[in-house]
Amino acid sequence: MAMLTLCALVAALRVLPDRSQFFQYESVSLSCGQEGDSPAWRVKRNTSANIDQECSSERTNESHCFIEDLYPLDTGAYWCESAAGGCSDAVNIMVTAGPVILESPVLPVTEGDDVSLRCRTKSTSNLTAQFYKDGVLIGSSSTGDITVPGVSQADEGLYRCAVSGAGGSSESWLTVRGRPEPPDSPLAGFLLPVVGACLSLVLLVLLVLLVLLCLWRNHKGRVDPDVSYTDVTITQEAQTNSIRDAAAAPTFYSTVKPGNT
């Protein structure tokens, strides 16, 4: 029996034992676990005999419900609710007077976990049972139980079992949820802003250096328009051969005597 959720999901319903199918006259305990400080919680249910009513009067307090003897009329949806408008997800519990039940988790399981399924009869143990998912045979066991290793979203669905000569169980829905993300450590929350600030400072310094480098290159390559430049070539003329020859020629001296006039 489904329940339309119109409230804030801030609580969790605990079911002991954690299974969705029970034989008549078995017992079940349901309790509410809320997040943070909340007003009083109460276990409520929708069954064929009780619509949107608080759980059995056999409860020890409003947030706990213990049903010592289950009957088929107790089959239905159970959930936690508070006067402030908070609630939990609903779970479906089935009570049968029939010969076979499937023991499967009534609460959501987490991806990667191993899930055990057990087929039970009222009188026989160590029986051979067949297990089905969405109407398809998935395995057989001579001990009456199987394990689905490392469940994933693909394993979510309707499960049932059957025992030759005894009959079959009703179907139960198995819910698989994703593994929650690990919480951030306080150290990581402190370091992230510091690392971000340091990276921003480094980028700013690199940007300033890049601007200064561009300015320096522009200044170095600039030509002053008030200064004229020209190429000057200085050549040294070699002395002529005549001068060199004259300097190198020997010098002769003679004596001149004056004559008689």
Q: What is the DSSP string of 92-126?
A: EEEEE-SSEEEE--SSPEETT--EEEEEEESS--S
**pLDDT tens digit string along 69-94?**
999 999 999 999 887 878 888 999 99
Q: Please state the rounded mean pLDDT for residues 110-139.
A: 92
DSSP classification of residue 36: S
Q: Of 192, 151, 145, 189, nearest to 169 (Cα)? A: 145
Q: Of 100, 117, 101, 89, nearest to 6 (Cα)? A: 89
Does 37 have pLDDT greater than 50? no
| Distance separating alpha carbons of residues 184 and 31, to the nearest angstrom | 30
Helix spans in the chain (H): 186-220, 241-248
The reported pLDDT for the residue numbered 244 is: 55
Task: With beta carbons less than 8 A apart as the criterion, state whether 121 and 156 touch.
Answer: no
Task: With beta carbons less than 8 A apart as the criterion, state whether 12 and 88 touch.
Answer: yes
51, two tokens: 């619509």
The structure tokens 């079911």 sit at 15
Q: Mention every residue, 6+ apart, whose C-beta is less than 8 A from residue 32.
A: 11, 12, 13, 14, 41, 42, 43, 63, 64, 80, 88
Identity of the residue numbered 160: R
Burial label for 238, CB within 10 Å (0-12, 13-18, 19+), is exposed
Q: Please state the rounded mean pLDDT for residues 88-115.
A: 95
Q: Please state the rounded mean pLDDT for residues 104-124.
A: 93
170, two tokens: 């009703």
How many residues would you count in the chain? 261
Task: With beta carbons less than 8 A apart as the criterion, state whether 160 and 132 touch.
Answer: yes
- pLDDT band for position 260 (50/70/90)? low
Mean pLDDT of the chain: 81
| Distance separating alpha carbons of residues 130 and 142, to the nearest angstrom | 9
Question: Can you list the domains of the chain with their CATH numbers?
Answer: 1-97 (2.60.40.10), 98-178 (2.60.40.10)
**pLDDT tens digit string along 197-219?**
878 888 888 888 888 888 888 77
Helix (H, G, I), strand (E, B) or coil at 83: coil
Q: Of 155, 159, 141, 15, nearest to 74 (Cα)? A: 15
| Bridge partners for 11 per DSSP | 34
Q: How many CB atoms lie within 10 A of CB 249?
A: 7
Judge if pTM exceeds 0.75: no
Does 166 have pLDDT greater than 50? yes
Does 174 have pLDDT greater than 60? yes
Task: With beta carbons less than 8 A apart as the criterion, state whether 61 and 42 touch.
Answer: no
